[in-house]
Chains A and B, each alone.
Chain A
Amino acid sequence: MSRPVDAEPRPPGMRGATRVLLERELDLAWSGGGGPLLACGFFACLTAVLPLAVGGDPRTLSPVAGGIAWLALALASLLSLERLFERDLEDGALDLLAIGHLPLESVVLVKALAQWIAVGLPLALTAPVAALALGLPVSLAPLTAVSALIGGAGFACTGALGAALALGAKRGGLLIAVVVLPLFIPPVVFGAGALERATAGQSPAPALAFLTAYVLFAGVVAAFAGAAAVRNAQG
């Protein structure tokens, strides 16, 4: 049955609204110079600088390869966080999002999801390469990718929370880092710990379980706290 031509268009519904926002966020992430590639480039630079800093001896590098890869992952995830909400605040889109179809909590999560897909995914693919370059055993490459993927979701959620909190503040980038890095400690510990356990021949499963649990927790906290922070910033 066809609708009358001049009737109100059917509203998009939650799924549609989510999809539209997600597409927009991914578009924004990839536009303006390929942000995700920049993050990977930063990751690669960190990986290159480390051996130059501590000496290229595999005996020094290999034990810390997993940990360093995770540290670089955390730092690279901090990039492009500053603009996550700020761009929308500046051009008024944030006000529209706030009164729009999706609850603000969902908006925060969708933005975090977009961050994960746009930045976290490429980083998760770069991480095993970096770790191998630092001397991680080849057999651990898949585990590195998987743990980086899960951890990336945690970084995206917590990072989104930090970006929302720092909205409208001076020195946003550094402020987000100072606020968010202590909160990054659990995923870094669990992720790097998974690699360590695996290197020692033990099962990484408990560590991965903790990591997943953290990601879920971070998602919930980021949704509610991030929404509160955004409402606060709008005034």
Chain B
Amino acid sequence: MFGLSNPQRFMDFTGPLTPVLWTAAAVLLAVGTWLSFSVPADYQQGDTVRIMFVHVPAAVWGLGAYSALGVSSFFALVFRHALADAAARAAALPGAAFTALALFTGSLWGQPMWGTWWVWDARLTSVLVLFLFYLGYMALRASIDDEQKGARAAAVLGLVGLINLPIVKFSVDWWNTLHQPASFLTPGASGLDPVYLPPFLTMLAAYGVLFLALWLTAIRTEIRRRRVLTLRARQVLEA
């Protein structure tokens, strides 16, 4: 049974913050969308370059969400703080959704470029593995009936996943050198034309702020949910 001290401060702090975040996200998304469609098409990729503006932010923040999940899991384990556990749980679904979006848009970006719907290159494969990490986390959480135990087990897995992620990324990169797939165009590899920076950065910021809004809202919901369950339990006791 956790007291309301820290969670209450969290609620007070995030109360006025979340509407600001939602608004900022909406604005950034609108501006980013407009910018994405008003820049000229790439001379090599044509109009498909516009897909990058929804693909890369989704991938970046899918990874960011997992880091948030992992770090929250660490605090949940070490400090046994229910707020940290709520934070880990709240990051899972948005993160998994962003990662799935990255995979879907990546596939659409790749088809006109490489002629196949999927390419086993280091980047996309790493995103796929990240998605699998999310699935494992959510599956574990859902499969254990006892909420407290499920939360703790998931925290362990979240942390293990976070530690393993660099290793998996390293192994996939190393595997990539073995198999030398066909060269592909990435912002990193070929250098991003500066004309694409404004829409790219705006959409990157937009996705980030949106994730923050989603995450904080979900944590607030989780805090309220637990409070409700506590009150209901107390009602039953007092009845």
Direct contact of A and B (CB under 8 A): yes
Tally B residues with Cβ within 8 Å of A: 31
Q: Given the complex, which residues of A lie within 8 Å of B152, measured CB to CB?
A: 228, 232
Q: Given the complex, which residues of A lie within 8 Å of B159, measured CB to CB?
A: 225
Q: Is the CB of A229 within 8 A of B156?
A: yes
If A185-B172, A186-B171 touch, does A228 touch B143 (CB 8 Å cutoff)? no
With A and B bound together, what is the CA distance between A171 and B139 in angstroms? 10
Interface string of A152-187 (1 = CB under 8 A from B): 000000000100011111110001001111110110
Q: Given the complex, which residues of A lie within 8 Å of B132, measured CB to CB?
A: 178, 181-182
With A and B bound together, what is the CA distance between A189 and B153 in angstroms? 27
Q: Is the CB of A221 within 8 A of B160?
A: yes
Interface assignment of A190: CB less than 8 Å from any CB of chain B: yes
Interface assignment of B168: CB less than 8 Å from any CB of chain A: yes
Determine the residue in chain B with the shortest Cβ distance to A175.
B143
Q: Is the CB of B171 within 8 A of A233?
A: no
CB distance from B171 to the nearest CB of A (A): 4
CB distance from B227 to the nearest CB of A (A): 24
Q: Given the complex, which residues of B lie within 8 Å of A120, measured CB to CB?
A: none
Interface size class of A (residues with CB under 8 A): 20 to 34
With A and B bound together, what is the CA distance between A171 and B142 in angstroms? 11
With A and B bound together, what is the CA distance between A190 and B168 in angstroms? 11
Determine the residue in chain A with the shortest Cβ distance to B177.
A193
A-B contact count (CB 8 A): 89
CB distance from A89 to the nearest CB of B (A): 12
Q: Given the complex, which residues of B lie within 8 Å of A24, measured CB to CB?
A: none
Q: For chain A, what secondary structure do more than half of its interface residues adopt (helix, strand, loop), or is it mixed?
A: helix
CB distance from B154 to the nearest CB of A (A): 9
CB distance from B77 to the nearest CB of A (A): 7
If A161-B160, A169-B140, A178-B136 touch, does A186 touch B149 (CB 8 Å cutoff)? no
Interface assignment of B61: CB less than 8 Å from any CB of chain A: no
Q: Given the complex, which residues of A lie within 8 Å of B175, measured CB to CB?
A: 189, 193
Interface string of B19-60 (1 = CB under 8 A from A): 000000000000000000000000000000000000000000
Q: Given the complex, which residues of B lie within 8 Å of A232, measured CB to CB?
A: 149, 152-153, 156
Q: Given the complex, which residues of B lie within 8 Å of A30, measured CB to CB?
A: none
Interface assignment of B164: CB less than 8 Å from any CB of chain A: yes
Q: Is the CB of A165 within 8 A of B156?
A: yes
Interface assignment of B129: CB less than 8 Å from any CB of chain A: yes
Of the candidates B133, B139, B167, B178, the one whose C-beta lies within 8 Å of that of A196 is B178
CB distance from A219 to the nearest CB of B (A): 13
Q: Given the complex, which residues of A lie within 8 Å of B149, measured CB to CB?
A: 168, 232-233, 235
CB distance from B164 to the nearest CB of A (A): 6
Q: Given the complex, which residues of B lie within 8 Å of A185, measured CB to CB?
A: 129, 168, 171-172
